[in-house]
Structure formats: C-alpha cells, structure tokens
Chain A
C-alpha cells in the first residue's frame, strides 16, 4: 500500500470538526470520488470527530490518501486521549448513548464506510479508522 499524502488536523472544537470534514471533502473532490462516497465519508467523519470532541475531550484527525493495486482510497483516523470506551459492544449498539445523542454515530459510521476499525482503552483514549476505496 502506498501513502500518496497525509495530513494531521487538530480536533478541539465545533469549528475544527467542520475543518476536518471540509478537508476530507476537498481531498475526495480532488480525487473524483462520487458524490455519494463524499457524502457518506463526510458524514462518518463528522460523527467520529464529534465523538472525539464531546466524549474524548478533543483529539486529532489524520487524513491519508492511499493507493493499493491501482485503487485509490481515503482513510480518516480520529484519535483522542479521553476516557476511552469500557464496553465497545454497547457503544456500537444503535440507540445507545451515554449523553443526549441519538446513539447512532458509531454504528451508523460503520455502516456508511468500506472499512471501519475501532481501538479503545479505558483511561487511555480512543482511535477510529475509516476508509473508503474508489
């Protein structure tokens, strides 16, 4: 797998969630991903970025442009050093929320993208990686 380019953005506020989402979009527009792909990836990015800000107390987003056997992919990794998630299965369950959300962010993001990986350790933080292949 080749990393064509990468970029890391801070994720501390609502404005920075928007910036990360816009960066994802502009890379996808540049690479001519379909409008549906752009919309789904932006929405998943938005969910994970908001979780990192709301529950993880802020973190960072790393954007990567990939190439594997002639296929172009975009990966967004969202990381925070917040409290982590003790029960991942519960967190991934639709409609589970510890706050005031709809409880659809994690489960929904997983359904929206091609690849979804989540690592979390209580007391250490959370990292989620989503990838879309063209």
Chain B
C-alpha cells in the first residue's frame, strides 16, 4: 500500500516539471497540427507553463477527485479562459479538450518511471490521475460549448437586426423587404422596426415585401395582419407585396384572408400604387428628336 501522507502525483509533477512541459508541448503540437495557424508556439508554451504552475500546487493541496473544491478554482478558472478563447478562435470542442488530455502521455510516463516497481501504488495513482484529467478535460468542453452558444446567440441577435432593414423609397413611402424564415422572434422585430420607421420618417405608406419569404403559414400571416392593423392605428397604410403564385394558392387553401389589406404581386406594382395614393405620377421623358 502507498503511504497516505506522501503525494506521488504532486511530487512527480514538481520534480519533472520541465521535461513534462516539453513533452506535453510536443503532444499538443502533434494533435493540433492542422490548427497551427490559430495559435502560436509562444502562446501555447505560455499557456501550458502557466497551467502546470497552477495544477501542481492544486494536486498537492487538494482532493484529486473533486474539481469543484476551492483548491481547484484557480486551475478551473484558467482552463475556462483558455477554452473560451479557443471557442471564439474556432477550435472544435475536441481540439480544445486536447489541451488537457494530451498531458496524460508525459505525465503517465513519469508516473510509471517513478512508481514502476510498486504496481499497487502505480495503479492507484494512474487511476486518480486519469479521473482528474478526464474531469478537467470535460470541464474545458463544457466551457467551450457555453462560449460557442454565446457567440451564436450574439450573431443571431445581430442578424435579426440586419435582416429587417427598412428603406425609404420616396418622401412618405418606406419599404421593408423580408428575406428568409419568419419565426416569432424575427416577426416581432420586423413589426417593431417598421412601426418605428413609420414614426421616424412620418411616412403614410409602408410596403412589406415578402418575395424572399419561403412559407407563409398562419403564424406569418397573423404577424403580417397585426402589422397592418398597428400601422393603420398610426395613420399609415400598409401594402403587402411580393406574393408569388404558389404562395397565393397556398394562402387561399389555408383559408388566410388579407381582407381589406392592399396586396400586390411585386414591389414595383406596390410602388406604382403608392405613387398614385400620394398623388405622384411617374412619366417617361419624351425622347428627343
């Protein structure tokens, strides 16, 4: 049996810190060979040395099975930072976990060398080291996933803003071309954007063009109808344009009726209608003789 007061793992880490670091760096370089463009050797070395400097004292002071214990907080915080920065750089979760998992090879090598003659202690220590590194490795993938989710959420929010632009076509006429799937999130933003632009520009006519919307189901129809009613309350007329033939047929069978809402096949038709409404006429210049 091993002496319970001695801490082989921490001792070996401290004694062989330099060789373990070098071998670990080699392992990481090999595993990340396809990603060398994303992280420099100097950064990798700095991160690895910094982690060992936190990992070794944590192994000495604490429980090797519970990485939520306070003595592991610094190591976990550091790994969290590394994972988050890799996630934003575009590393995959497994590439990120490589940072911790590739420490196994050099670490186990030195454990074997030191404890090789004492099979029982070696088995025990290898087991605790494996469990510990697995937990830390999984922790990095968890943080990585959360960070990716945040990146995606932010991009989605940015896209929502971008994807419902309102353009001023003429004095008193604005248009919003809708492109892509309208879920309730986007539909709400679309409605708010359009109503706000009606106020900001003092427009009396707003054209919503749905040429780029692949399906108009009851949810989309309901949002369009709500938008039209809200615009009316604000004294503006809303025209829906870009109703393609297959969409028109589908809406008829679905039973959706736009009632008194003005609908047009194309944005051009809607604009021509809007010009008539505000008393503008467009005339072709007579060609000069």
Q: Tell me which residues across on chain B come within 8 A of A43, comparing CB atoms.
A: 215-217, 250, 254
Contact assessment for B253 and A111 in the assembled complex, using a CB-CB cutoff below 8 Å: yes
**Can you name 19 A-B residue pairings with CB atoms under 8 Å?**
A15-B183, A25-B214, A36-B245, A36-B250, A38-B246, A39-B249, A39-B250, A40-B250, A46-B215, A47-B217, A50-B219, A94-B255, A101-B222, A102-B218, A102-B221, A108-B253, A108-B255, A112-B250, A112-B254
A 44-61 binary contact with B (CB < 8 Å = 1; else 0):
001100100000000000
A/B pair count, beta carbons within 8 Å: 68
> Interface residues, chain A, CB within 8 Å of chain B?
14-15, 17-18, 21, 25, 35-36, 38-40, 42-43, 46-47, 50, 94, 101-102, 104-105, 107-109, 111-112
Taking CB atoms, residues of chain B closer than 8 Å to A40 are 246, 249-250, 253
Q: Report the Cα distance A40→B214, complex, angstroms.
A: 11
Interface 1/0 per residue, B157-194 and A, CB below 8 Å: 00000000000000000000000010111000000000
Task: Give bound CA distance, A101 to B218, whole Å.
Answer: 8
Would you give the shortest CB distance from B114 to chain A, in whole angstroms? 50
Is the interface on chain B under 10, 10 to 19, 20 to 34, or 35 or more residues? 20 to 34
Which residue in B181, B183, B246, B254 is a CB contact (below 8 Å) of A104?
A: B254
- Residues of chain B with a CB closer than 8 A to A47's CB: 217-218, 254
A21 to chain B: which residues have CB within 8 Å?
181, 215
Q: Are B218 and A108 in contact (CB under 8 A)?
A: yes
Judging by beta carbons under 8 Å apart, are B185 and A14 in contact?
A: yes
**B64 part of interface (Cβ distance < 8 Å):** no
B154 to chain A, nearest CB (A): 16
**CB neighbors of A among B50-80 (8 A):** none
Distance of A47 Cα from B215 Cα, bound (Å): 11
User: Given A102-B256, A108-B253: A14 and B218 within 8 A (CB)?
Assistant: no
Residue of A with least CB distance to B181: A18
